[in-house]
Amino acid sequence: DGGITQSPKYLFRKEGQNVTLSCEQNLNHDAMYWYRQDPGQGLRLIYYSQIVNDFQKGDIAEGYSVSREKKESFPLTVTSAQKNPTAFYLCASSMGSATGELSYEQYFGPGTRLTVT
Amino acid sequence: SQQGEEDPQALSIQEGENATMNCSYKTSINNLQWYRQNSGRGLVHLILIRSNEREKHSGRLRVTLDTSKKSSSLLITASRAADTASYFCATVESGGSNYKLTFGKGTLLTVNP
pLDDT of the residue at B103? 93
Per cent of chain B over pLDDT 70 is 96
In this structure, the dihedral spanned by the alpha carbons of residues A59, A65, A69 and A75, taken in order and rounded to 10 degrees, is -90
How many CA atoms within 13 Å lie on the side-chain side of B54? Answer: 2
pLDDT digits (tens, 9 = 90+) for B39-88: 999 999 999 999 999 999 999 999 999 999 999 999 999 999 999 999 99
Task: Tell me which residues of chain B have a C-beta less than 8 Å from any C-beta of chain A.
Answer: 1-2, 4, 30-31, 33, 40-45, 48, 88, 90, 92, 97-106
pLDDT of the residue at A63? 96
pLDDT of the residue at A101? 59
Which residues is B75 bridged to in the sheet? Answer: B20, B62
* Chain A CB contacts of B101 below 8 Å: 33, 43, 45, 104, 106
Distance of CA B26 to the CA centre of its chain: 15
Which residues is A21 bridged to in the sheet? Answer: A76
Length of chain A in terms of residues written: 117
Compute the distance between CA of residue A2 and CA of residue B14 in angstroms, rounded to an integer: 35
User: Contact A94/A49 with Cβ under 8 angstroms?
Assistant: no
pLDDT of the residue at B1? 47
* Chain B CB contacts of A43 below 8 Å: 43, 88, 90, 101, 103
User: Contact A30/A95 with Cβ under 8 angstroms?
Assistant: yes
User: What band does A95 get if pLDDT is binned at 50, 70 and 90?
Assistant: confident
Would the pLDDT of B10 be above 50?
yes
pLDDT of the residue at B55? 98
